[in-house]
Amino acid sequence: MAACESDESTNSSDMPGECVVIQSCEPCVRNNSSTTATVFCKICNELFCDQCNHLHKIFKPGKHDVVGIEDIDSVPVKVDMKGIDICHEHDEKIRFYCEDHAKLCCSSCVLTHRQCDKFHDLVSLSVQKGQELHDLNERLLQISFDVNAYTVNCKQSETELNESIASSLKEVDEIKDRLVHLVQDAKQKLLTEANRIQSEEFTKFRESHAVSAKVTEEINKLVSFCKLLIEHGTNQQQYIAAKHLEVTVQRMETDFNQQQNAHQECTVKLAVPKELTSLIAKEKDMLNINVLRNHKLAGKTRVFIKKLQRIYDHLRIVSMHYRRLTYTIYYILLYNTIQYIYIYVRLVHVNIIKTSYVSMISGTMLLNHGSKHTFIHLTRTSTF
């Protein structure tokens, strides 16, 4: 564990001030305390304070090669190969590489590969191909960044998917409310129009009934008068009455024929727009979901990410080579900052599985029609 102390009062530039790396005692850190380390054990590969150094010499068996904390840079770093440098068949150290079979071999494997033409000693081969591990490390780092970007983007896509589904359902509710509102308005207009038509026609019916009743009453009187003359009147009286009634009957026939010809039977029929009829006929296909997928990166953003990647690679190499110098903390902080920016830009613009859902309604023209004109109206049909 290391901490950095700097004089911020004298630091007026963008570069950090002089840093002093303070190493902490590792056993104390594991015990949730912080004590400055004074020595480093090459055998145990740990930092100790004076008290822990004394105890570890007493209780841990074996010899210890302890150096002062100021000489820690001279201590060689031991790498734990985690067993990958051991041959799984013969349990011996790997010392050769068979290029024909692309296989790492130990001394016992030589017998099996004695006919191979490209069988190399790792000592000479590793000198020639030392850059290969660096290249693989670069690829691993790149994959790590892409995996992190992919993982976070999956979570972001999940959130966006949930939001788009919720938005689509809300849109469906809005469409439903609008349709209900349009139908209710159309029903109210239809009722008003029906009442007006009914009132007009009923007025005509009452007028016709009144005229018919008056004519019927007059006819009944004339029929009674004619019957009386036929039974008891003289020939002269019958002749005079016939001439007089001839004009009256002719007038009554003319008036009735005119009234009968002017009479119309009135009914109403519901007129439904073709858009609404077509929409209702679709039933299950009235609303559909369209899936939009996008995984393309904008050109300018791609160029920016490439530049950012080059800066990031440069700072990473610098921080690796100068990790034990005065500006260690500065390079690490700047390196991490560029790393976060790089990942963030990829997350924002590299939409690997970004999916959004939108709802579509087939009756869009219907809604536009309903908002500007009569949604449903009555058609009056008259028959003579």
User: Among 129, 160, 194, where does a domain finish?
Assistant: 129
As a whole number of angstroms, the distance between CA 24 and CA 51 comes to 13
Range(s) of the domain holding residue 244 = 134-295+351-383
Pair (184, 199) in one structural domain: yes
Pair (119, 169) in one structural domain: no
Pair (49, 163) in one structural domain: no
Pair (229, 368) in one structural domain: yes
Let me know if residue 328 belongs to a domain.
no
Let me know if residue 309 belongs to a domain.
no
Question: How many domains in the chain?
Answer: 3
As a whole number of angstroms, the distance between CA 268 and CA 198 comes to 10
As a whole number of angstroms, the distance between CA 301 and CA 316 comes to 22
Q: What is the pLDDT of residue 359?
A: 36
Q: What is the pLDDT of residue 131?
A: 67
Q: What angle do CA 283, 160, 173 make, to 5 degrees?
A: 35
Q: What is the pLDDT of residue 360?
A: 37
| CATH code of the domain in which 105 resides | 3.30.160
Let me know if residue 326 belongs to a domain.
no
Pair (42, 181) in one structural domain: no
Pair (48, 180) in one structural domain: no
Q: What token pair was written down for 209?
A: 């009934």
Number of other CB atoms surrounding residue 363 within 10 Å = 20
Let me know if residue 14 belongs to a domain.
yes
As a whole number of angstroms, the distance between CA 324 and CA 331 comes to 11
Pair (149, 198) in one structural domain: yes
Q: What is the pLDDT of residue 369?
A: 43
Pair (107, 227) in one structural domain: no
Pair (182, 249) in one structural domain: yes
Number of other CB atoms surrounding residue 300 within 10 Å = 9
- Residue 175: burial class (beta carbons within 10 Å; 0-12, 13-18, 19+): middle
Pair (244, 279) in one structural domain: yes
pLDDT by 10s per residue, the chain, length 384? 444 443 333 333 343 343 345 688 888 888 888 888 888 887 777 888 988 888 877 765 556 666 666 666 665 556 677 788 889 888 898 888 888 888 889 988 988 888 888 888 887 775 555 567 677 778 888 888 888 888 888 888 888 889 988 998 999 899 889 989 988 998 899 899 889 988 888 888 888 888 888 888 888 988 888 888 888 888 888 888 888 888 888 888 888 888 888 777 788 888 888 888 887 777 777 777 777 776 544 444 555 556 566 666 665 665 555 444 434 444 444 555 555 555 555 555 444 333 333 333 333 434 444 444 445 555 555 555
Let me know if residue 262 belongs to a domain.
yes
Pair (226, 270) in one structural domain: yes
Let me know if residue 305 belongs to a domain.
no
Pair (114, 181) in one structural domain: no
Let me know if residue 336 belongs to a domain.
no
